[in-house]
Amino acid sequence: MKKKGIPVMNVGISLLILIFMTLALLTFSVLSLENAVADRRLSQKAADHTTAYYDAANRIQEQIADRMQEAQEQNLAAGTRFSFQEEVSDGQIVIASVVVTGDGEERDFDVVQWQLQSSEDWEADRSLDVYQGEQ
């Protein structure tokens, strides 16, 4: 009797499919890992910027408190305006303006401006790399 052998063609196709699926899963896992690392970096930058912003806001609040104490001691008139600015990070500052309100013991302030803005001048890039033909 002759023994039936395992068909070589069926094993070869199965092995190729298995290798292809393994490579596809490996590729997707590497892409997912890279995406997770990029998201973590972005989250860390956002957290650092938020921390820097609130640190600058706290410094401005302390300056406002000091100025209000001085306004109380010097009995400044209502309507006196104070402006403050603090650096948040490279290229960004928080600008705040307050106006003294009330008289005597009822002295308070209103915030009329609180703005995060760029501290650097913006310049448009007007250069265009356009193909001019053979030169």
Q: Residue 93 has what pLDDT? A: 93
Q: Residue 1 has what pLDDT? A: 55
Look up the pTM and report it: 0.69
Is 26 buried (19+), middle (13-18) or exposed (0-12) by CB count in 10 A? exposed
- What is the Cβ-side half-sphere exposure of residue 73, based on CA atoms within 13 angstroms? 6
For the chain, which residues make up each domain, given as ranges? 8-118
Rounded to whole angstroms, what are the CA distances from 95 to 10, 55, 59?
Answer: 73, 13, 12
Q: How far apart are CA 40 and CA 109, in angstroms?
A: 41
User: What is the identity of the amino acid at 114?
Assistant: W
pLDDT along the chain (135 residues), means of 10: 59 86 97 97 95 94 89 81 89 91 77 88 80 76
Tokens of 37: 């690392």
